[in-house]
Amino acid sequence: MTNYTYIVECADGTLYCGWTNDLEKRIKAHNEGKGAKYTKPRLPVKLVYYEEFDTKEEAMSREWNIKQLSRKQKMKLIFSHL
């Protein structure tokens, strides 16, 4: 099973990082206001970055690393991935 670390951008410009094994379902949940507690409820999100991993532990580790980055560093990561 593939695991993903991802970054979504909320409608107000805030960035949220997470991990999941079902990226489509997670984005849908965010957009229905059922996303993680750190996303702004009912603000639509768009997927701006993701990475694939073989194990849950790798995805969780990468999520933690991304969460340590500043917004500027996250934006640089997003744009370098395009």
Q: CB of 16 within 8 A of CB of 39?
A: yes
> pLDDT, tens digit, for every residue of 46-78?
999 999 999 999 999 999 999 999 999 999 999
31/16 Cα distance (integer angstroms): 13
- What are φ and ψ of residue 49, in 5° steps? -165, 140
Q: CB of 52 within 8 A of CB of 72?
A: no
Which of 11-20, 38-47, 50-59 shows the lowest mean pLDDT across its residues?
A: 38-47
69/7 Cα distance (integer angstroms): 12
Q: Which domains does the chain have, with CATH numbers?
A: 3-81 (3.40.1440.10)
Portion of the chain with pLDDT greater than 70, in percent: 88
pTM: 0.85
Give me the chain's average pLDDT, please. 88
